[in-house]
Structure 1
Amino acid sequence: MTLDVFSAARLQHAAGNRKTGDAAFRVLPEQGFAEACKEITAWEGYAPTPLVSLDGLAARIGVARIDYKHEGPRFGLGSFKALGGSYAAMRVLQRELTKRLGHAVSLADIRNGTHRDICRQITLVSATDGNHGRSLAWGCQRFGAPCRIYIHAEVSEGRAKAMRDMGAEVIRIDGDYDDSVRLAKDEAETNGWFVVSDTSWPGYTEPPRDVMAGYGVMTREICETLDQAPTHVFLQGGVGGLAASVAAGLRQVYGSQAPRVVISEPELAACLFESARAGRATTVHIEEETIMAGLSCGEPSEMAWDILSEEASDFLTIPDAIVAPAVRLLAKAETGDAVVEAGESAVAGLAALIAARQDADLSKKLGLDARSRILLIGSEGVTDPAIYAEIMKGADHV
């Protein structure tokens, strides 16, 4: 295995301002994680996803251990998003049904179809780069609610079809992800629909909080499998919901022994990196789409930033050039580890880790050495077979 492409990569680094605070408990309370875990683990088809040990790669790049949480098998939907969008949809329906019926409605009632006739009158909408929308469409199909999904111009047709196949009405717009978020919000307000977003904004917090609580199932599985806390966790960016949820969950479990949080983002969509540099949530304009479709977000979730501004120690940007090689490294088992079929957004942390270990100065800044134990979140499997096939042919830009 050659690491030349990773050695040639130029990563940008910004130091976070990790400090003692309560955001990991205040924004995402432990009780919220517990309630989400109780519900989601009761769903038909629930099973923990694999935590894959990449011992060969760890030896190759000079660290003690790498654990890769492979979310490809999650509920047959291909990504960790299955945990968030569907659970948040249930919670939106629960709140609205309780309001309409004048008495408390349980999540079990919704899961079992008790109020399916009324659910048909409650339209849920969201914007997506693909995986969140697929999760929402799946949930709406199960619970009986109409679903409208807004996608931007660069979302692949394969991902759009997957949502249509689950009964969602898919609206493609000109513009980028942030434009689709705004349109979904505006049309929902006009028509009395309900937004189920994984990003928050002033006055809109409950569904994104529920989305992040759902992701906590994944973190719980990790902590129940590991025999000790990792020293580092590399987390992909996007709007920040995944990173904030995992960082908060790890802090709640491990306390002062929680791992160092390193955020990895595309250099083409680095809103968290720029937020770290500015010291506040900062929006960036996306001029060119990254190969990591699920991370092509220019506006951070303010709720997620509340957590990451306290918990993240480092922010990195990575070039697209190292993404496809990281996908192929896993798929071809180039280091003798188990074969893992991963999507483009899944390998942001992996690619950043490999590249960082080729740079002695950057490794020192990140506190990486031969004793480091790294946790990676493989956030998606093959969610678009056509794109994956192109990557496996050797295409670095698709």
Structure 2
Amino acid sequence: MKTTDELTFEPDFLRAIEYFREQEVYRPSPLREVPGPGGVTVWAKDETSRMGLGAFKALGGPYAVARLLMRSWKAETGEDIDAARLKDADLRAFASRQTFVCASAGNHGLGVAAGAQALGASARIFLAKTVPHSFDDRLAERGAEVVRAGETYDDSVAEAIADADRTGATLLADGTWPGYTDIPKLVMEGYTVIAEELRSRFEETGIWPSHVYLQAGVGGLAAAMAHMIRKNWAEQPEIIVVEPEAAPCLIESHKAGKPVRADGPDSNMGRLDCKEPSIVAWNTLEKCDVRFVTLTENEGEAAARAVTELGIATTPSGAAGYAALCRQIQEGVSGAGFRPLVIVSEGPA
């Protein structure tokens, strides 16, 4: 039986912000103003160049790797360390004996690989056949071992779990399930930095979005963002969670009142093509007063072309929030106070 503590997401977002501010490669991602349909001005949080990895997941895997190494070192030595200490020779020697394993639809694996490489650890990333082969080379450049495993993302998750059980490597997934929630919460804690970057910007201007569109696969980004928006944004927007019609696991879980699978065909929104939700993300979103929208494959493709033409090269996954916005405007939802915010979550694969 799932406990309340297992499902609860209460991130130490100040710890995450402090960690990233100490990293030389960290810069807040740009908040751009782009034209939307019907003459609407759209805020677009551009994650396509985040920390050299090209996606918001540069904030999740690397942060979790660092936190886990700090935990492991304390367990072995009793010493509490800060992020700067991870650069020392004895910590790098310690990290060299650690291996992190995960399944990925692409970007999470890059984050884990980059985090492991930066600190001297190893990474092994499991990819299903549906993941573009461009990720193989990108992962290898980050020092990761790449294993092609299974027909679907779920298959690759099962293979990663089996590998960790067999080898003693640390499973660093971004999804959660009964009995496995602690480590993915660290990944989600990294994502809270995006919401805090935005809050800082909007507080400076005094102008806040009226609607925020958050794409979701297993739901980690959407839940982390929604939690932080509801926690400490001075003006509260409507939050719209966007999924492919082929993988509506969060909306179906919302309807069922519990986490459920939502099987369907493969989606061209590949990084969102997740058939089973993170139980922590589901529980968090249920507390955040969000609305759910599903997209057709054609809507995802059209939005990717539109956003790319606006100067932010992206994919159907990255443009999913913009796609939902376009539909809402077509349905007549706009007006003088309509100030939409979308997250362009990744660059081209």
TM-score, scaled to structure 2: 0.93
Alpha-carbon distance change, 193 to 161 in structure 1, aligned in 2, over 3 angstroms: same
Specify which of 104, 111, 116 is matched with residue 128 of structure 1: 104
Q: CA deviation at 1:46?
A: 1.2
Summarize deviations over 1:279-324 as a string: whole Å, max 9, x none.
Answer: 22111224x2211111011111111111101114311110010222
Summarize deviations over 1:191-228 as a string: whole Å, max 9, x none.
Answer: 11101111112222222111111111111111111233
Residue in structure 1 matched with residue 266 of structure 2 by the alignment:
289
Please list, as runs of the form range in 1=range in 2, the aligned pairs for 1:39-188 lying within 5 A after superposition.
39-54=19-34, 56-57=35-36, 60-61=37-38, 63=40, 65-188=41-164
Helix, strand or coil: the match of 2:287? helix
Residue in structure 2 matched with residue 320 of structure 1 by the alignment:
297
| One-letter identity of the residue aligned with 1:202 | P
Judge conservation of contact 1:150–1:180 (CA < 8 Å) in 2.
yes
Judge conservation of contact 1:62–1:369 (CA < 8 Å) in 2.
no
Alpha-carbon distance change, 27 to 184 in structure 1, aligned in 2, over 3 angstroms: same
Residue in structure 2 matched with residue 235 of structure 1 by the alignment:
214
Helix, strand or coil: the match of 1:356? helix
Please list, as runs of the form range in 1=range in 2, the aligned pairs for 1:191-340 lying within 5 A after superposition.
191-226=167-202, 227-254=206-233, 257-286=235-264, 288-333=265-310, 339-340=311-312
| One-letter identity of the residue aligned with 2:331 | D
In the alignment, structure 1 residue 353 sits paired with structure 2 residue 322? no
Alpha-carbon distance change, 221 to 275 in structure 1, aligned in 2, over 3 angstroms: same
Q: CA deviation at 1:166?
A: 1.0
Judge conservation of contact 2:246–2:263 (CA < 8 Å) in 1.
no
Residue in structure 2 matched with residue 372 of structure 1 by the alignment:
338
Alpha-carbon distance change, 281 to 26 in structure 1, aligned in 2, over 3 angstroms: closer
CA RMSD of aligned residues (A): 1.9
Q: CA deviation at 1:91?
A: 1.1
| One-letter identity of the residue aligned with 1:345 | S
Q: CA deviation at 1:39?
A: 0.4
- The count of corresponding residues between Structure 1 and Structure 2 is 342
| One-letter identity of the residue aligned with 1:325 | A
Residue in structure 2 matched with residue 13 of structure 1 by the alignment:
none
Q: CA deviation at 1:332?
A: 2.1
| One-letter identity of the residue aligned with 2:213 | F
Judge conservation of contact 2:315–2:347 (CA < 8 Å) in 1.
yes
Judge conservation of contact 1:61–1:354 (CA < 8 Å) in 2.
no
Helix, strand or coil: the match of 1:75? helix
Helix, strand or coil: the match of 1:346? coil
- Consecutive unaligned residues in structure 2, runs of 5 or more: none
| Higher RCO, 1 vs 2 (CA within 8 Å, ≥6 residues apart) | 1
Q: CA deviation at 1:154?
A: 0.7
| One-letter identity of the residue aligned with 1:48 | P
Helix, strand or coil: the match of 1:281? coil
Alpha-carbon distance change, 276 to 47 in structure 1, aligned in 2, over 3 angstroms: same
Q: Which shifted more, 347-356 or 304-313?
A: 304-313
Q: CA deviation at 1:370?
A: 4.2
Q: CA deviation at 1:344?
A: 2.5
Following the alignment from structure 2 to structure 1, what is the Cα–Cα distance between the partners of residues 103 and 48? Answer: 21
Q: Which shifted more, 135-144 or 310-319?
A: 310-319
Q: CA deviation at 1:106?
A: 2.9
Q: CA deviation at 1:113?
A: 4.9
Following the alignment from structure 2 to structure 1, what is the Cα–Cα distance between the partners of residues 217 and 323? Answer: 16
Helix, strand or coil: the match of 1:345? coil
| One-letter identity of the residue aligned with 1:329 | A
| One-letter identity of the residue aligned with 2:322 | L
Alpha-carbon distance change, 148 to 371 in structure 1, aligned in 2, over 3 angstroms: same
Please list, as runs of the form range in 1=range in 2, the aligned pairs for 1:26-37 lying within 5 A after superposition.
27-29=9-11, 32-37=12-17
- Consecutive unaligned residues in structure 1, runs of 5 or more: 1-21, 334-338, 385-398
Q: CA deviation at 1:185?
A: 1.3
Following the alignment from structure 1 to structure 2, what is the Cα–Cα distance between the partners of residues 303 and 113? Answer: 36
Alpha-carbon distance change, 203 to 111 in structure 1, aligned in 2, over 3 angstroms: farther
Alpha-carbon distance change, 304 to 113 in structure 1, aligned in 2, over 3 angstroms: farther
